Amino acid sequence: MNKILVQIGDGNTAAAGQTLVSYALGSCIGVCLYDKEIKIAGMVHAVLPAKKGGEVTAAEQQYRYADQGIRRLIDQMCSCGAKKSRLTAKLVGGAQMFQTINYEWDIGKKNIQMAKKILAAEGIPLLAEDTGSDYGRTVWFTAEDGRVRVEAAKHPSIEL
């Protein structure tokens, strides 16, 4: 298995025989897109829902924000041969890592909402999710078959 690391604020694609992995998704949202026909997988590890004040221009920041990162990943996957009409999605993360009564600080919930909003706007069906709660997760996304395995401390591993 050829493992490709998707770091915080990053995004990448994988082909058959490769696995995308992202560690320690807390309030961040992991968006996993898949084209089953040609076995192309893509993942974004977005930190925040959107950039205040407009579009991100620096190349290293393109995946940091869920709204722009998901769209960039779609473009990247299509340049690898995927078709937007065949893409499906799975979401992981978006936890509320710190207890607060102030909605403004619930970044995890906002990340989940933004990811769902962008997927709906792009016409990409959401097949499964493991989101919310108050714990971090690690996600493994296998391009060969589209399986998403989620691991978390003190919680059983699950497959989406």
The predicted pLDDT at position 59 comes to 61
The predicted pLDDT at position 149 comes to 98
11: domain CATH number is 3.30.1330.200
The predicted pLDDT at position 57 comes to 62
Query: In which element (H, E) is residue 158 found?
Result: strand 155-159
Which residue is listed with tokens 């971090």? Answer: 136
* Residue 50 CA neighbour count, 13 Å, CB half: 12
The predicted pLDDT at position 87 comes to 99
Q: How far apart are CA 6 and CA 12, in angstroms?
A: 6
The predicted pLDDT at position 45 comes to 98
28 catalytically annotated:
yes
Amino acid occupying residue 47: V
The domain of 30 spans 2-159
Q: CA nearest 148: which of 119, 123, 128, 132?
A: 128
Strand pairing class (18-25; 2-5): parallel
Q: What is the mean pLDDT of each run of 10 residues along the chain (160 residues)?
A: 94 97 96 98 97 66 93 97 98 85 76 98 98 95 98 93
**DSSP secondary structure string, 53-111?**
TS---SGGGTTTBHHHHHHHHHHHHHHTT--GGGEEEEEEE----S--S-GGG-HHHHH
Q: How many domains does the chain have?
A: 1
Q: How far apart are CA 36 and CA 153, in angstroms?
A: 30
Cα 139 → chain centroid:
9
